[in-house]
Structure formats: C-alpha cells, structure tokens
Amino acid sequence: MATNTAPWATEVPTAVLVLADGTVIEGRGLGATGSAVAEVCFNTALTGYEEILTDPSYAGQIVTFTFPHIGNVGTNDEDIEDLTPAARAGAVGAVFKADITIPSNYRASGDLDDWLKRRGVVAIAGIDTRALTALIRQKGAPNAVIAHSPDGKFDIEDLKRQAAAWSGLVGLDLAKEVTSGQSSVWSETPWAWNEGYGEQAEPTMHVVAVDYGVKRNILRLLSGLGAKVTIVPAKTKAEDILAMKPDGIFLSNGPGDPAATGEYAVPVIQDLLKSELPIFGICLGHQMLALAVGGKTEKMHQGHHGANHPVKDHTTGKVEIVSMNHGFAVDSKSLPEGVVETHVSLFDGSNCGITLTGKPVFSVQHHPEASPGPQDSHYLFRRFVNLIRERKGEPALAER
C-alpha cells in the first residue's frame, strides 16, 4: 500500500499508521496524542462504534471502521461496555475514513473526538479504509503503530522498528489486563426505551460470572432473567467459585490468545465441570471451555469483527445474524468425542458453538448480547437460565 494521499495532502499530516512491513499511512490525528502498538483489524458494523471501542475483547487492537462516517450520533455514558471505564479496557486505536462530524442524536452527551481523548484512544482520519481493509483481507491482520502528534513531527524509522518488533497477539494473555480487580455483584437490567436501565430487586437464581473481559450487556441480560450475578476475577480458583454456591457459571468474553489465558483458566474450568452445574461461555469463554475439554484454538487470518455475520444453530436449524469480535477460533477438527459442534459460521465454516453431551454445558463464539438481528441470539441466555431452572425443578422459560 502506498503512502496515503488525502484531499488535504498539502497540510502537514498529524497522524500516521505505520505497519510492521514498513508501510506508512498518513492522515489527520484525532483523539489522544501519543502512540500505541497493536494489531490492526477491521469492523464492518454500521452502528455501535462506542460499544465496539469499549469492548474489552478489542484490547491490543486498532480498529479500522469500514463504514465511512463514524461519530454521527456522538457518545454517552449508557453505551459503554467495559466494566471499569477508568481502566480504559478496549481498543487502543481507531482508523476512520472521514473526519468526525458534529453529533446529532437526542441521547448524545458528548462528541466522539473528546471522548477518545478522555479514554486515551489514538485515532487517525482521512484514510482509504477500503484499501486498508483489502490489505488485511489479503495479507492478514498486521501489527502496527498508530501515532498522533499535533505538530506533525514523527520519528518514522523508530515507529517502523516498534511495529516490526512487537510480538503480536499470539501467546499474549490480555485477560489479566482487563479483568476485575475484585469480586462484585451486578444488578442492572436491560435498557428500555425512554426508561434507561432497570434494577433487579428479587433474583431467583445465582450466577457466578468469571470475568475475562466481560461486557456490561451480557450481565444485564442475565440479571434481566432473574439472576443475581457475582462477578469474579479471571484467576479466581474453582473452590472459591463453588463456595459462593452458584446455580450456574458464566465464562465471559475477553481479549488475547486463548491458549495463553488457558494456562490458568483451563484447570479452573476443568474443576468446575466436575460440579455438574450449568455452564455457559461466550467468545473467549467459549474458547476456554473448548480448551478445557481437550480442543485446540488457532489464530485466524483476519478474524471476525462485525455485526452482520450469519451463524447457523444446528440445534434449531435456524440462521442468526450475529455480532462477532474474535481473532482466534476453536479448531472444530480438534474437538474430542462427547463435544458436539452446535453453531457454525456461514462465512467460512469456522466453529461458533459447542455443547457437552449429557452435561448442562454449552458455549458460543459470537456475542448474543448484541442486537444486530436485532435479537436473534438472545434465546441463548434463556437456554442457559432454563438449564438452571430445570436443575432447580422449575418450569422452563420460552426460548423465543
């Protein structure tokens, strides 16, 4: 890819994206000043940029938005997904085609540029995002440095060295960087039009959520179905989880290489499986479960990042339009006997879900708490809750 030439190319570029192969892409700086080294991916969603940028699963990544106009609806305090905003879990950089526009939405409490500054996210605009996306599709997600300096002064050779020297996401445990520092209880319920979020008063079950980088809306959906949710840090021991006397266990989404996180997470999950409690995993939690039962994970060429991915549920025969955000996948050929593949991507055939034969345990790769379909996959939360209700001798909820 050649150096970017934008309509304002006569101006001094105030941001650069330097790829590990030495490619230098110039643009206009936005958000925080400084630099960040990370993997560059692309996201095809048309909406939800605030949720995307605050998803802890994007830790260690720079997100290229394929939709050209990002920032139109501004930002607010309700759409943040990371559990601890002060920790700034989520993407470290963002790449836009067009400059951020003035926000136009009744829910907006601020504009995206100021929001990026507050969160420490470095951004660049004026980029040919179609060309960058094509490069990622052809060559895979590259390592890169994104840098923003208002005076336009960059040490390009040093940035090239940084990009080339970064080890990448393979072998990197990022869950430990974004997980909760201590246990806490979640009681907020899903958002309702003109009402905002609710508060659960009378839980009917107890779910312990192992936090590898959990998203808020996952917790809201569990709470909305009657669960008292206790969030525990990623390295919490199985005996400590079971001592809380949960009715079910949730394994959350999160960033980084699942094999690296699995060094401490897999033994815990293997012990939890012996309890015969219902277990539900999403994203990294899905990969952790697969590793715990003897499967393997692998780095994907470009990953799946977007809100328009078709996934087939073999248990129902239905196709769901889902939200995805993962750069690693479970190798379906590695799944042992007793582990059944339940969901598959219709884009590339990669694994998107498993269940354990004869056990109340299942997981999915995609994000059923998101609303691209708009709620095609919300039934998975009811499926989990019904496993708990069945164990308690209570009638099942309708899945749809």
Which residues are identified as catalytic? 283, 367, 369
E strands of 331-381, at which residues? 339-345, 351-356, 361-364
Tracing tokens 């990623």 back to the chain, one arrives at 234
Of 268, 264, 258, nearest to 291 by C-alpha is 258
With contact defined as beta carbons under 8 Å apart, do 398 and 382 qualify? Answer: yes
Q: Return the biggest CA–CA distance within the chain.
A: 71
Which backbone phi and psi does 53 adopt, to 5 degrees? -70, -20
Q: What's the CA gap between 14 and 33, in Å, rounded?
A: 10
Contacts by 396-400 with C-beta closer than 8 Å and gap 24+?
A: 397/225
With contact defined as beta carbons under 8 Å apart, do 57 and 39 qualify? Answer: no
Q: What's the CA gap between 281 and 302, in Å, rounded?
A: 23
- List, in order, residues 6 or more apart from 327 with CB less than 8 Å away: 39, 41, 61, 141, 169, 299, 300, 303
Q: What's the CA gap between 54 and 48, in Å, rounded?
A: 10
In eight-state DSSP terms, residue 333 is: G
In angstroms, what CA-CA distances link 208 with 32, 246, 292? 36, 6, 18
What 3-state class would DSSP assign to 6? coil
Q: Going by DSSP bridges, is the β-strand pair 279-282/248-251 parallel, antiparallel, or unpaired?
A: parallel
In angstroms, what CA-CA distances link 373 with 31, 160, 353, 383, 397? 31, 41, 18, 18, 21
Q: What's the CA gap between 155 and 11, in Å, rounded?
A: 18
- List, in order, residues 6 or more apart from 194 with CB less than 8 Å away: none
